Amino acid sequence: MNEIQKDFPILNQQVNDEQLVYLDNAATAQRPTQVTTALTEFYQTDNANVHRGVHTLAERATADYEAARRKLQKFINAKEPEEVIFTKGTTDGLNLVASTYGQQNVKAGDEIVISITEHHSNLIPWQQLALEKGATLKYIHLTDDGELDLDEAAKLITDKTKIVAVAHASNVMGTINPIKQLAKLAHEHGAIFVGDGAQSVPHIAVDVQDLDVDFYAFSGHKMMGPTGIGILYGKRALLEAMKPYQYGGEMIGFVHQFESTWAELPYKFEAGTQNIAGAVGLGAAADYLTEIGMANVTAHEQEIVNYLLPKLEAMDGVTVYGPQDPAKHTGVVAFNLDGLHPHDVATALDMEGVAVRAGHHCAQPLMEYLGLTATARASFYLYNTKADADRLLTALQETKEFFKHGSIETK
């Protein structure tokens, strides 16, 4: 752990005169020096536009870009690199599917099934598609344990269902959802399954072939890569049948005055100059996680959650949301302090050097379902420790004392 933490110099600083404890990893993770070095080296030695250029820098940049694609293919075990499309992130990838596959295949009277826990990125595209097409949008709800109700899912997914879209892991409660079972249910009724992997790919091993998902989107910045880069995986047969998402350079085969043909996969969906350096940085992040081992990342986070949850639940006035079994949990923990708005809690924790997020977490239907307006959310990653969990607990206790008595005891 000491060696890992050395790779993240941003963590070695004080905030409000306290040593920083960064627990906002579900929003964005920090980058190791291996990623920032890869970005710097690309810009200083290989920077050029990719494809078609015949000069040396263009050829090197193209090689770097395509090498990154192959790294991500291997990281999620896609069948071939042509099934890996570079996007701006999860949101971009999900909108691509809704705007292409959805527009081509959903009609009035069809059904789209999602879950009540979805991030807005995996909700609004389907909501708007259903409204435009006259389709029905259905929601899978939760069991008393805070997990997706699979019995309800089996009833909601019918022969009218065309798309099932569910997050692999909740960004609010950390719940790891059984998307392999949901994909199987979808396929039994002739529907396709779309997975939101934003909160899963950074934390658990993902094998898209084993999951048998049809599409799967995730973001680079949540797995320690750069911002503005992500991946959409899609099965080749589906991608080949889809229209382009955007038009312009790079995505064409040949352009005539009144008609055009499109490039082969994956370039048909990569119009314009892509975030080349971002792809290189994302490849470096995949290398970093592969070297550590995703099984080790998962085990480390579960150890912290297993340590934290009983202590957090035992604290007077604290309500924790989501499953209590660490095996069904990423490092995301949502909670509230009685009588305090989550924004006040987050501000007070920040004064103690502990960075958490507060709000509806782009999951307002889930908040309404739980009868809440917002929660505080602590999210752990591979560089966090049990000592960080203890700092959170101590800061929460001091926050309670402050709002109860109006002052915090001098350290």
Residues assigned a catalytic role = 362
The number of CA neighbours under 13 Å toward the Cβ of 309 is 23
224 Cβ contact partners less than 8 Å away, ≥ 6 residues apart? 29, 30, 31, 32, 35, 202, 285, 288, 289
Coil, helix or strand at residue 302: helix
The number of CA neighbours under 13 Å toward the Cβ of 52 is 10
Scanning the structure block, which residue is given the tokens 């065309």? 162
- What is the number of H-type helices and E-type strands within the chain? 15, 17
Angle in degrees, CA 410, 408, 356, rounded to 5? 115
Q: Which two tokens stand for residue 325?
A: 């079994």
Q: Are 114 and 140 in contact (CB under 8 A)?
A: yes
Coil, helix or strand at residue 406: coil
Cα 165 from chain centroid (whole Å): 14
Report how far residue 49's alpha carbon sits from residue 65's, in angstroms, rounded to the nearest whole number.
10
CB-neighbour burial class of residue 170 (10 A; exposed 0-12, middle 13-18, buried 19+):
buried
Q: Alpha helices, DSSP H only, in 77-138?
A: 90-97, 103-105, 124-133
Q: Alpha helices, DSSP H only, in 20-112?
A: 33-41, 56-76, 90-97, 103-105
CA–CA distances in Å: residue 373 to residues 51, 95, 220, 370, 376: 48, 26, 29, 9, 11
Q: Are 396 and 336 in contact (CB under 8 A)?
A: no
Q: Which two tokens stand for residue 233?
A: 């995986």
Q: How many CB atoms lie within 10 A of CB 394?
A: 12
